[in-house]
Structure 1
């Protein structure tokens, strides 16, 4: 396996029955996998690209929305659709995937059917539709991915606002001596000591997101 890239991730959001405020996030990952194929032992490898599909489901808490939201975006025909935006928004962040291994097997003994319909935009990327019938050989790819899945909802917040002010006096430095100015700067002790992992990421007390490591 030479390289792995994420083409697109499709997300579906559905409320969980009998669990108010919880939502099921269905994710379908489409990966482009680049392989070096050795046709004969003495010949150099041939580079080919293929499609790999993976599905994942997580359940997250997204609270409840009991109001209808109307927006100025869209036409009058879309007004009814825009008025039922009570569901939260699901998003996923995907780091650069890691290609771990690739295994060649016989197509007759493996399940070659994709787990979902491949979108037309991805089919056009590879020159047409994918043919799953009469497949002699398929490649199983093991891919490691790091993802953060989040559910977002608009909330109302009270933030104090203050009127702008215009400075009336010019700021005058107390001294022109650069050494005196430098003497007032604290010594940067932290710059000489690398931060610990807790200093960078902090303690994980739950932030409403799902940090996932998948292989």
Structure 2
């Protein structure tokens, strides 16, 4: 059976090198970013959830202080936006581990506790249209339940959403009266998050800790496409790997002689530098 020509005007791959460019045009399979956005969010008064033993410490606390916060994980969901073809909503839920010092009385030594803070946000981005189904030999086929057509999860046509988040900035923490309606999230907490705290998270009774943290995020929608790019050469290593040695004298022989330590710089040489610490003196 003869091959069907689907791209008669496609550029040849082997005859695109020119004397001036010195490169070939090659076709690669990559994720193209169709839309992206960045955000700087100050998440104020996020309630913390604790295990039963640590929640008892919070109930008897008189003051708290925040130490640090980090991201445990995040869930990302993509859904088409009705009546806006090519646009998709990206729903993100972030799970933070927040470390705080709890003081039971004035002058008492603090007790460190770790709590869970949950924050969700939604953005709308353009992700183009796609109606093809892609299958790959390196991905197992998993069919969704309760679907009459057995639509496979690896064959959907929505774009892939990727979220990047910086390390959270721990800004403040305070003791507030318990609000049971806001202490537990609406969505079920992932099992990996519960395992992170080594115990079941319980709602507050009288007191709870509310924290404020700052985050920077980048959200993007991308699709798998085939594109042509210029190729100059293969990435061949240009240097030889150094072999480690256990001989301390050989290691010492590779250290340069510290000339500046024996012959300090002149004052006029220090003035040439914008950074005063380069000459071994601090700025008064």
**TM-score with structure 2 length normalisation?**
0.53
| TM-superposition CA deviations, 1:96-150 (whole Å, max 9, x none) | 1111111211214762221421111111221222222x62211111110000001
| TM-superposition CA deviations, 1:172-197 (whole Å, max 9, x none) | xxxxxxxxxxxxxxxxxxxx99xxxx
Change (3 A) 1:83 1:138: closer
| TM-superposition CA deviations, 1:58-87 (whole Å, max 9, x none) | 000010112121211244666961662311
The aligned residue for residue 136 of structure 1 is: 206
The aligned residue for residue 55 of structure 1 is: 120
Pairing 1:69–2:134 present: yes
**TM-score with structure 1 length normalisation?**
0.68
- Secondary structure at 1:18 match in 2: coil
The aligned residue for residue 126 of structure 1 is: 197
Q: Can you give the 5+ residue segments of structure 1 that lack an aligned partner in the other structure?
A: 165-191, 194-215
Change (3 A) 1:67 1:45: same
Return the alpha-carbon distance in structure 2 between the equivalents of residues 65 and 125 of structure 1: 38
Pairing 1:43–2:108 present: yes
Number of residue pairs aligned between Structure 1 and Structure 2 = 165
Let me know the Cα RMSD of the aligned residues: 2.7
Change (3 A) 1:157 1:37: same
Q: Larger RCO: Structure 1 or Structure 2 (Cα < 8 Å, ≥ 6 residues apart)?
A: 2
- Decide which of 88, 93, 113 is 2:184's aligned counterpart: 113
- Decide which of 93, 98, 114 is 2:164's aligned counterpart: 93
- Secondary structure at 2:192 match in 1: helix
* Deviation >4 Å, runs of 4+: 75-80, 160-164
Return the alpha-carbon distance in structure 2 between the equivalents of residues 162 and 105 of structure 1: 62
Change (3 A) 1:16 1:131: same
Return the alpha-carbon distance in structure 1 between the equivalents of residues 153 and 93 of structure 2: 26
